[in-house]
Every structure is written in C-alpha cells, then in structure tokens.
Amino acid sequence: MIVPADFLEAEQLTQIALKSKAFWGYSNDLIEGWRADLTVTTKTIQTCQVYKFMVDDVTVGFYVLNNPKEELVKLEMLFVLPKFIGKGIGKKLLIHALEKAIVSNAKTIELVADPNAIPFYKSQGFVEKEQIGSAILGRFLSLMQKDLKQ
C-alpha cells in the first residue's frame, strides 16, 4: 500500500535510503560521504510529495517528488529496503510518482540515476540526457527524463 509519509518519519526514510544505497556494495565510507544527499528532512516531507510503500505496517520503500516548476517535475529519491528489491515495489512507487506528476500537469519528469539504477529507469521508459560528474573522480551519474504528455 502506498500512503503519504509523515514528517515524523524523516529519519526512518533516511535509513531506508542509506540501506538501499549500501545494497550495491558501496563502502561504508562512500555511504557516509553521501549521507547529506540521502537524508530526508522534515522540511522535505512538508514541501515535497513524499510517499511510502507499506508491507504489514512496515515502511519498506519511498519516493520524493518535488513540486513541479512549470512543466518539469523531479524525482529526487526512490529507495527500497534491500530485502524488498526485485519484488516490484520500486516499479509500483515509480508508477505512483508518475501518476502524481501527471495530475500536477507536469510534461516531463527528470531524475539523476546512480549507475546501478539506470537499467531499471530505462525499462520504465526513461532516456539518458547527459552524464553528470559525481563526488567520486571518474564516476558519473545519468540525468534521465521521461515525457509525460499523453
């Protein structure tokens, strides 16, 4: 079940993001280096659309969708706990985010994807627009977009 996140859950969502990122084999030092980028704040929950995926009253994933600026909306985060990766929860969260973006009259959704997430987003119709340098020398992230016009 997908429901809105409560601002009191910011730390819990941050922990899901950190655990999900660690699933890909990144070192603890790298994960700690990314902590600021992976932190969900109470302000984030109050100013963005933040939804969580519940399994038996336990939050196992979430996404953060910023409010559209003109016709563009950004998917800031989408994370699933490692033991639930590969079970379709990420896809359900993404579809929910796309529906929210369409309702808000966005024409395009954009995100910055970790290299491990690119195949998932490509399978959902996103295309790579450009490579963006990351904090790690020689490591690049992909700016990806999907057209929402119907």
Alpha-helical runs (H) found in the chain: 10-22, 28-33, 42-47, 89-103, 118-123
pLDDT of residue 138: 63
Phi, psi (rounded to 5 degrees) for 15? -65, -40
Task: Tell me the β-bridge partners of 52.
Answer: 3, 62
Instruction: Return per-residue pLDDT of the chain as tens, 150 residues.
Output: 999 999 899 999 999 999 999 998 888 888 888 888 899 999 999 999 999 999 999 999 999 999 777 789 999 999 999 999 999 999 999 999 999 999 888 999 999 998 889 999 999 999 999 888 766 656 678 899 999 975
Query: Is-contact 94 124, C-beta < 8 A?
Result: yes
